Amino acid sequence: MPSDFEDLDDNPSNPSVGRRPTIGDVINRRYSRRSAVKGMFGTLAIAGIGPGLAACATVEPGEFREKEFRELDRGVDTTHHVAPGHHAEVLIRWGDPLFDGVGAFDPMRQSAEDQERRFGYNNDYVGFVPLPAEARGEQRGLLCVNHEYSIADLMLPGVAGRETTAAECEIEKAAHGGSIVEVVRRRGTWSYIPGSRYNRRITARTGIALTGPAAGSSRLATSADPTGRTVTGTLNNCAGGITPWGAYLLAEENFNGYFFGTVTGPEAANHKRYGVPGGWYVWGKYDARFDIGREPNEPNRFGWIVEVDPMDPDSPPKKRTALGRFKHEGAESVHNRDGRVVVYSGDDQAFDYVYKFVTAGRFDPRNPDSGRDLLDEGTLYVARFDADGAMEWLPLIHGQGPLTAANGFAGQADVLIETRRAADLLGATPMDRPEDVEPDPNSGRVYVMLTNNIARTAGDLNAANPRANSAFGHIIEIVETDGDFASTRSTWSILVRCGDPAVAEVGALWGPGTSANGWFGSPDTVAIDGEGRLWVATDGSEVLNRCANGIWSVETKGVVRGCSKLFFRNPTGAEVCGPRFTPDGETLFVAVQHPGDDGEGYPPHGRPSTFADPSTRWPDFDPRMPPRPAVLAVTRTGGGRIGD
């Protein structure tokens, strides 16, 4: 989530460390996009690309692998760029028709019913479920793509400067959720298949079952659903995951932003801990369930992990409450060697936590049905990172330690609904906004993207979050003991501290050979290739980073550990999401989210970006089209694995 929403999102809600100190306000003003615009092209203290890092004797800047791709130069403009020797082609865009009988997209004639039959807005997570080829030489699969949120000013004509109407709010709801779409690669080129029997939209209007220990809790009951077992819709689906049995997981992240009103009853403290109500949308004006004064339990029905079977378009999506309720960034999983499945998830808020869920049952790949409902039973753990490099995964189990009736937890349902408060009581380590948490099944290691936390002060530091006013974030590597992802005692270290290494006050730390183009800020999502290299997608400020968001490859092994190179660059205003490799490593799917957002932050535009007057019309560059979030397929010219 970017710009304005992300600034709101930075406000900590963890009461143990969650104040916003004066120094934080000062730094925030200094580092905010808009106040730093002047500095980008002027004389901001941190500006000025340095001469490049001092490379170690054996490693030249940007050239630390023989045969590897040549990196891009940093910069910002209205289109995307990929490293020489690679192609990036648009595969599918917001508004593209998914079903038979749906015509070409006309942005001047939008309706909720029409949007529900098209690819949604603001593509974020990208999953890929392979399908058998139907002809020689082709490659097929299902792309599972999240649509995190809507930006009315950019996607709807005539809205800039006024409130959205009831009908426009319904279009926004229909543009949320996820898309499942069949894709095929023929003669080297990817395309999607309109009308495929697998194509499906899930939106903020789709009926979804609640399952697992919290389902049926009185705290999940509302006037529309007295049983507490059926929710309308999913919200703010940021990243996600594909399970070992091929299910698509959509994480619900900043659900707080959709609610407004005031609540004074028993849920007041719970809602405060989650930042409810955020008041970012006016949906509650027309739809009572988003008004917490009228429906105080409705927010408890969001903040979960949603599971969908992409192979069965009629299967009901399920919110799996056993995985806890927080601002789930994603839900990447791994099949552990003992057969259990481990799902990692970050809670993306300043001073919140890193979690993993270990299933009680085992998955047998010879029997895909053994994955059915596996996510309804298991143990949720939260991470405590110790100063000596050890760490402990602390179980959130009702009746253990402080998680008792005396502390207001009547049962496991309460522990899950109030996951954050349970984790506070267990003494979890408050982190610098955990985004993607990605296990590498080949190495037994897990990588945690910590995007930034400008509210952290010198008094809040801990070994795993060692910088005050961390504007650029860092990446932690966890080594699960003996490669056992279910282990409860592990070790950790910091792989890189992000930011410009040429500016001492930033405190950045990169591997030798990282060039002036190789550093980045605000790591968000990540893919790991077969060699253990990270492909880190960023969601930061173009002004602070003096570069559009992009994808950087980061080495994790040997003398080049921590070396980073710029592979892909976004058009202005966008964050980059996905990224997702095909199993053969020859295609990288890249989601470009909110192109053309934050026009004030892009000096050649220098004013708000709107439907009528956007900072870029990427990717169509058609004067009748606003900018369109889109998924690209990146391949190597002439074939072969990406980045080789």
Between 105 and 326, whose beta carbon lies closer to ligand FEO? 326
Q: Is 209 exposed, middle or buried (0-12, 13-18, 19+ CB in 10 A)?
A: middle
Nearer to Ca ion, 168 or 436 (CB): 436
Cβ-based neighbours of 562, under 8 Å, separated by 6 or more: 495, 496, 509, 510, 511, 514, 554, 555, 556
With CB under 6 A as the rule, give the number of residues binding ligand FEO: 9
Q: Does 225 bind ligand FEO (CB under 6 A)?
A: no
Which residues fall within 8 angstroms of residue 123, CB to CB, at 6 or more apart? Answer: 94, 145, 146, 147, 148, 577, 591, 592, 593, 629, 630, 631
Residue 436 binding target from ligand FEO, Ca ion, none, CB below 5 to 8 Å by type: Ca ion
What is the rounded CA–CA span in Å between residue 441 and residue 333? 9
Question: Hey, which residues between 297 and 336 contact ligand FEO (CB under 6 A)?
Answer: 329
Partner in contact with 253, chosen from ligand FEO, Ca ion, none, beta carbon below 5 to 8 Å by kind = ligand FEO
CA distance 110 to 132: 36
Shortest distance, position 433 Cβ to ligand FEO, whole Å: 7
**What is the three-state SS of 368-397?**
HHHHCCHHHCEEEEEEEECCCCEEEEEECC
Question: Got the DSSP string for 516-530?
Answer: TTT--S-EEEEEE-T
The answer to whether 238 contacts ligand FEO (rule: CB under 6 A) is yes
Smallest distance from the beta carbon of 540 to ligand FEO, in angstroms? 11
Contact at 8 Å (CB) between 178 and 204? no
Site for ligand FEO in 130-149 (CB under 6 A): 148
With binding defined as CB under 6 A, does residue 1 bind ligand FEO? yes
Q: Does 435 bind ligand FEO (CB under 6 A)?
A: yes
Q: How far is the CB of 115 from ligand FEO (least distance, A)?
A: 21
Minimum distance between the CB of residue 350 and Ca ion, rounded to whole angstroms?
Answer: 12
Nearer to Ca ion, 125 or 409 (CB): 125
Q: Identify the CA nearest to 309 among candidates 298, 323, 320.
A: 320
Show the tokens assigned to 285: 């004006």
Give 64 or 353: the residue with its C-beta nearer to ligand FEO.
Answer: 353
For Ca ion, the closer of residues 530 and 606 by Cβ is: 530
Residue 610 neighbours by CB under 8 Å, 6+ apart: 153, 154, 160, 599
Nearest residue (CB) to ligand FEO, 148 versus 542: 148
Residue 347 or 529: the one with the smaller Cβ distance to ligand FEO is: 347
Name which of ligand FEO, Ca ion, none residue 597 binds, using a CB cut-off of 5 to 8 Å depending on partner kind: none
Minimum Å gap between C-beta 478 and Ca ion is 15
Does 182 engage in binding with ligand FEO (CB under 6 A)? no
Q: Which is nearer to ligand FEO, 10 or 539 (CB)?
A: 539
Shortest Cβ 92–ligand FEO spacing (Å): 20
Which residue, 342 or 417, has its beta carbon nearer to Ca ion?
Answer: 342
Neighbours of 29 (CB within 10 A): 12
Please list every residue from 239 through 268 that binds ligand FEO, using CB under 6 A: 253
Of Ca ion, ligand FEO, none, which one sits near residue 460, judging by CB under 5 to 8 A according to partner kind?
none
In the list ligand FEO, Ca ion, none, the entry touching 153 (Cβ below 5 to 8 angstroms by class) is: none
Judge whether 313 and 197 are in contact, CB under 8 Å.
yes
**How many CA atoms, within 13 angstroms, populate the side-chain half-sphere of residue 31?**
25
The b/e string for 424-439 (b: 16+ C-beta within 10 A; e otherwise) is: bbbebbbbbbbbbbbb
Q: Helix 33-40 crosses helix 22-31 at what angle (to 10 degrees)?
A: 50
| Closest listed residue to residue 344, CA positions, set 227, 262, 434 | 434
Task: In whole angstroms, give the CA distance from residue 328 to residue 427.
Answer: 19
Q: Which of residues 475-534 bind ligand FEO (CB under 6 A)?
A: 524
For binding to Ca ion (CB under 5 A), which residues are involved?
Answer: 238, 436, 438, 524-525, 539
Residues at the site binding ligand FEO, with contacts judged by CB under 6 A: 1, 148, 238, 253, 329, 348, 435, 524, 539
